[in-house]
Amino acid sequence: MPDAGLNPAPGFARKPEHQVRLSPLGKRVVVTLAGETIADSADALLCEESNHGPVYYVPMVDIRADAFTPTSRSTYCPYKGTASYWSIHAGGERAENAAWSYDLPYDECVELVKHVAFYPDKVEIRAG
């Protein structure tokens, strides 16, 4: 985790034991919806966070942008920042709020800029 600079995460001040580890996955990640590929990357990041399962963040340059529609949903994480969401349409199906990203993450998670994560119960994610 990089040192905090101009935009430190307030969560770490309250819970310094909380961990958010970001590292290159080192494996290819393929994300599909209804059998159609919507993301394919050899440059994904692995996010390992206290009290959460691992999450893959795929660079936006490796997603099929035409399948993504922004939604009005947002959520807040005191360690990463405010997340924006997308619904995905592919293979004749639509997955609502199935992907998210942090446009302006806190300094400790700045590597997440221009990366997208997916809910594994809404799309199929294969890493390996």
pLDDT digits (tens, 9 = 90+) for 79-116: 999 999 999 999 999 999 999 999 999 999 999 999 99
How much is the average pLDDT of 41-67? Answer: 97
pLDDT tens digits for range 28-50 = 999 999 999 999 999 999 999 99
> pLDDT at residue 9 above 90?
yes
Residue with tokens 């905090």: 4
d(CA 9, CA 126): 31
1 found inside a domain: no
Burial classification of residue 121, based on how many CB atoms lie within 10 Å of its CB (0-12 exposed, 13-18 middle, 19 or more buried): exposed
22: containing domain:
10-127
> pLDDT at residue 4 above 70?
no
3 found inside a domain: no
Number of domains in the chain: 1
4 found inside a domain: no
51 found inside a domain: yes
2 found inside a domain: no
97 found inside a domain: yes
53 found inside a domain: yes
Instruction: Specify the amino acid at residue 126.
Output: R
96 found inside a domain: yes
> pLDDT at residue 76 above 60?
yes
Supply the CATH number for residue 122's domain.
Answer: 2.170.150.40
